[in-house]
Structures are given as structure tokens and as C-alpha cells.
Amino acid sequence: MKIGVVVLNFGEPEDATEEEVVPFLERIFLTNASLEGDVSPEAARRRSRELAERRAPGLIEEYRKIGASPLNRQATQQARAVEDELRSRGHDARTYPAMQFTDPLISAAVRAAREDDIEQLVGLPVYPLCGASTTIAALDAVEKEVGTLDWDVPFSAVTGWHRHPLYTSIRADGIRASVEADGLDLTQAGVKLVFSAHGTPMKYIHEGVRYQAYAEESCRAIARELGVEDHVIGYQNHTNRGIEWTQPDVETVIREVDADVVVVVPVSFMHEQSETLAELDHDLREEAEEVGLRFHRVPVPHDDPRFAVVLADLVEPLLRASGETLPESGDLTWGRCRCRPTPGTYCLNAVSRPANSM
């Protein structure tokens, strides 16, 4: 059977130009238009354009600071690695990199899969933590495009997967290697482990998406594997709209933390991008240094060869599941997703665990 895996990512503009950045931002704001209440499609488009034009100059400056975003290149490399891993396991698989907000868009990836006569389609978001405007919106876009094409193909999807034990190890190993290379000790007095997660509007949390709980759970698991009991988490919030976001802001954490050194881990990202290379490496570093802190940022382990193993582990069980059958695979505990209760959508978060187990 020919398997197609749509490997879903956020996307970022390749060039720091208004022609690329404004449409990118428009797509983001339009995806989240419901945050400001029920409005007509025309009004939502106007508002999205307004917000995009307001935000574009600052984001263009961020992209110029970092040269160019490596996100799309890293995402493409990850997709190729997953394809190689699945093929090494005996599957006739092909991966299709797909971005929510830049080329190659999800619609193009789905059309390419259909042209290749794919017989089973899998949606695989490369977001460690399941969120409304990332994981769920991306999968909804895949399913919508399948419907638009009137394509009768079996479709299944994985949502939350931060509980994969190898993923936790990849994160812990990357942190350990990074701090040791800088001569730091996470157990030493005055050194604080600070996790930075992408923020999300609280409206989504109130509606039942468990992103914040998953972020905290994942941070506890990584810290435990490092042997670190004392850690904090802050959120990178983008307050373009006057709405409530996850708290605390990571900037507030940095200003109030009792430490001499902060080791900052961008835990909700699997690529280097503007949120890491500009918001953390430039903006947050300045905040830390202004209050007398030594700042150490841990790189995102996007090129760890074990990551392709994690993603292939997520896809492979879905190839054996059908209809109401839950996936089965070794140590992974699968269930039907609660954040996206759509048939054929599975995750590793559906089965509740004791608070001290992660």
C-alpha cells in the first residue's frame, strides 16, 4: 500500500520582505479570527489584513536580525528523514512537507499526494504540544482539502505526542550536552532551568484544548530526566489582539527569577525560527542581561537523528489501525484524541496519568 504522510509545520517567510511577510501574517490572523467573536468572512479578512500590516514591520526587522528563517529548510530535512525511516521499516511511504502559512501550503501537499496515487494518508504535525491554532488547525486543513478534492482516501491523524519517551530523552540529552559545553551545572545553586513555550490564547484553553497542561507536563518530564526538581515555565505570547493569553510571560519569569544564570529551553519548538533566534536570542537575552543574569539558550534538537525515529513511531501504528481500532505499538499508549474528537484522530495524551507520573 502506498502511504502518504503530510508532515505539518508552521512555516515562515524565506525573505524579510513585505510581499512575503504580510500574506504570511494574514493567514495566521485569519485562522484565529474567531478570537474576536463571530464576524462575517469579509470582516475577518479585513481585520486580518489590518493586523498583518500593523505587525509586519516588527517581524520584518526580526527576520533581518537573524538573516533568514531556517524553519522551512529544517522541516524539509525532517520530512525526508521520516520517509527514509519508514522505508527502512518496509513501508512504501512518501512524505509531503506542508506549511500552514507559507509555501508549500497544506493544500498543495494534499494535491501532490493525490497525484501520486497515495492509498492511505496520514497527518503528522511536528508540534510536540497539541494546540488549537497549530496541531488542530493544520489537521483540519488537511481534511478540508481532501474533501475539496472529493478524494476517497483513508485519512488518519496523530495529534499530541510529547509523551513519547524517546522525545523526552532527546530533549533532556540536548539540554545536558549544551549546558556541559558551557561549563554549567543545572543542580548548582544560582542556575535556573527556564522552559519557554509558545503562548496560546486562553479562549482555546477554556474551550477544552489542553495545551497549557501538556506544556507543564512535558517540562516536568524533561526536568525529571535531567534530575532537576526546580524549574519554571514561561510563555512567549503575541498580544496583537486585546485578549487573555497563557501566563506567566517568559519576560516576567526572567525579571522575577531568583537566579544568577538562566538556562532557557524553547520546549514547544522543533525548529529554529524567529521565536527562538530573535525573540529569545536577542530580545529575551537583553531582558536577562538588564537584570544582571547570565543567559544560556539551549538549541532546538531539530537535527537529532532520533527524531525521525520518534515521528516514524507515531505514523507506523496508524497504518495498522482501521475504523474504531486503536493503534497499538509497544510502550506507547494510544487513545482517541480529546482535543480533536474526529474519527481517525489519535494521540498519546488521551489516557489520563497521575500528576507525578510525568
pLDDT digits over 115-159, tens only?
999 999 999 999 999 999 999 999 999 999 999 999 999 999 999
pLDDT tens by residue, 213-255: 999 999 999 999 999 989 999 999 987 777 899 999 999 999 9
Please count the helices (runs of H) and the strands (runs of E) in the chain.
12, 10
Q: What is the pTM of this model?
A: 0.92
The CATH architecture to which 2-9+70-161+305-357 belongs is: 3-Layer(aba) Sandwich (3.40)
Query: 165-202: per-residue pLDDT in tens?
Result: 999 999 999 999 999 999 999 999 999 999 999 999 99
Q: What is the domain partition of the chain in residue ranges?
A: 2-9+70-161+305-357, 165-297
- Cell numbers for 92, please give them: 512504501
Of 182, 77, 161, residue with least CA distance to 335: 161
Quick: pLDDT tens for 151-171.
999 999 999 999 999 999 999
- 160 close to 337: Cβ distance less than 8 angstroms: yes
**pLDDT tens digits along 313-348:** 999 999 876 556 677 777 789 999 989 999 999 999
The whole-chain average pLDDT of the chain stands at 93
Q: Is the pLDDT of residue 9 over 90?
A: yes
Task: Determine the residue type at 200.
Answer: T
Q: Which percentage of the chain shows pLDDT scores above 70?
A: 97
- Write down the pLDDT at residue 357: 52
* DSSP assignments along 31-59, one per residue: HTGGGG----HHHHHHHHHHHHHHHHHHH
C-alpha cell at 152: 476517497
* CATH architecture label of 165-297: 3-Layer(aba) Sandwich (3.40)
